[in-house]
Structure 1
Amino acid sequence: MMGEAVVKLRLLGPILGLFLALAWGINFDAQSQIKTGKYEIRVAGFKIGDMEAKLTQSGLQQSLLIQSDVSFWFFGKIYLNHEINCQYRDDQLILSQVTSESNKGDFFSKIEWNENHYKVDAKTYEYENNKSIAQIIEGSTAKFYFEKPNDGDFIVSETFGLLSKVEEIENDVFEIEINGNRNRFYYTGQELTKVVVQNPIKNYVIQKVN
């Protein structure tokens, strides 16, 4: 009996050690799969807000979170808190939710995969869209902050629920049209360094903070 107990203990030691090593490895991998990027939002050279982009990767699951806060004076105080939350599985968009809180009102947009199509319920300032999307979506504006697109890709705007074709207008500069406005994304290698967002009143720039 004593000999049997000793054998069991000797076997338990390596097994326990392997378990702990795997547990530490999983924790390390989970931490290494979180990426963040910080940006400033500027109009005519003046800073009006901040943005943070965060990607969490866990196996085939991707979670993307884009948060921005804007405050400026334009014939009165304007403020906006904007958040995009996307969930991907095996490179397919499963769910996106956008919340906007501002002194022009609060808005919410949602795109959700439902068996063979996306159900769209998009509401933002002076805009609504409930037209479903019948094709699989593999990219959206939030992904631009972590993955350089390819010329000819189709992506979706999480806020408007509209598909847009990506055009590489020059080396490492990509353009998409969303609801009549053309936005440009500038890359240095694989890193997104600047976004120029077209606006009917005044274009604004999202600049990477080093």
Structure 2
Amino acid sequence: MKSPKLILTIILIGFGIFMVPKSYGQRVDSAAFAIKVLGITIGEMEVAKTGSSDQNSVYDLHSQVNFWFFGKIFLDHRIKCMFRDGQYIFSTVDSKTNKGDFLSKIEWKENHYQINANTYKYENQKPIDFPIYSSISELYFQKPKVGDVIISETYGLTSPIVEIEPDVFEITINGHKNHFYYLDGVLDKVMIENPIKNFIMQRIY
């Protein structure tokens, strides 16, 4: 049987591939996803998009996991991600877990991104010296374009978008492949490949 520490590691890896003040702009879209590990629903993710336009948007992702697996597993994961004039300019990722609290922050500074990524057994402060126009948070609301470069708000790492089959897109972050499945242009499921077990987020509404 897998240990609680190992299960928490799987969950944090999954969210790393994946908020925002509610008062920012008018809410334009929202959805919810069931979180599943080892075939068991262990939590839920709520996502929301606010802002004046697609070019000036704020993405708000809030995930909560709380279950018993030979020990208590708890995770409260919040992402705040902002775009201005179509460019990704700022994000924070705040994770509270039974193994500690972690905070990642990325901010555009004139000609580069200042990276301060900190999550379970991972740190990254290497700056990125080119503008980015897509992030993982954005994938919950719109289908990506092949060849786009996307950033993980948690890890501060980038990946190209690859369409591996019609309406199925793959990104690779920190060595982990993540698959986004769309139906009629709407995200239906996210699957994070893991050598132990897959981590799945299935759309509820």
Which runs of structure 1 show a deviation greater than 4 angstroms over 4 or more consecutive aligned residues? Answer: none
Q: Give secondary structure in 1 for the equivalent of 2:49.
A: strand
Q: Which among 173, 189, 197 is matched to residue 192 of structure 2?
A: 197
Secondary structure in 2 matching 1:138: coil
The size of the alignment, in residue pairs, is 180
- CA displacement at 1:147 relative to structure 2: 1.1
Change (3 A) 1:200 1:82: farther
Aligned match of 2:124: 129
The CA RMSD over aligned residues, in Å, is 1.3
% of aligned pairs identical?
Answer: 51
Instruction: Show the 5 A alignment for 1:1-210.
Output: 31=26, 34-59=28-53, 60-210=55-205
Q: In the TM superposition, what whole-angstrom CA distance separates every residue of 1:121-175 from its partner, at most 9, and x where no partner exists?
A: 0000000000000110100100000110011110000000000111100000000
The structure having more radius of gyration, on CA atoms, is 1
- Distance in 1 between the 2:40 and 2:90 partners? 34
Letter in 2 for 1:47: T
Aligned residue in 1 for 2:12 = none
C-alpha distance in 1, partners of 2:30/2:81? 15
Give the TM-score normalised by structure 1. 0.82
How far residue 72 of structure 1 moved from its aligned partner, in angstroms, is 2.7
Structure 2: give runs of 5+ residues left out of the alignment.
1-24
The superposition leaves residues 26-71 of structure 1 with CA deviations (integer Å, 9 ceiling, x where unpaired) of xxxx65x521011100123211000011000214421100000012
Higher relative contact order (CA 8 A, sep 6+): 2
Which consecutive residues of structure 1, in runs of 5 or more, have no partner in the other structure? 1-29
